[in-house]
Structure 1
Amino acid sequence: YPGTNNRRGIGFDKPEDNYPSSQLSPESYGHTGFTGTFFWVDPKNDFVVVLLTNRVYPSRTQQGLYDLGIRRKIIDMVLANPDQ
């Protein structure tokens, strides 16, 4: 929704500040799931990442995925080493 403070597009998240990574272009988009699943597409950088996790195991109080910035770290690592 251009011109609003909503980070959602039509069915997808749009990047905001450093989320999910400062290395992704403004044209990128993705979606996150309740259990920690995540996908993000950046057509400008020819980049796609899919992260399948289960943050609700063994309990729903698990916050390590967020507290440790795992998603951002994975994206940054992959973008820093595109040929590996």
Structure 2
Amino acid sequence: MKPPQFDGTTAWNAYRRHFKAAANANGWSSTEKATALTLALRGDVATVLQEISPEEQEVYKQLVGHLEIRYDQSHLEHVYHTQLKNRFQE
């Protein structure tokens, strides 16, 4: 089972769930997951690979950590809630 490509147009959390499902179905090791994820990156997302060392690219958790820093949107929920709260107060 081949994981989908990630180009940053879909939400990172949704993509990561799909990727994990493919990795589990294929029984990939951590190194295999890192390789598959590296190959799945497209477009501007692939520039993350230029910013990290080759050793970090081979460690799945470190690669995911770098991608989460840039593409995870869970922190935005708090920002949006604060903006909405401030709008109501105005």
TM-score by length of 2: 0.27
TM superposition score normalised by structure 1: 0.28
Q: Which protein is richer in strand relative to its size?
A: 1
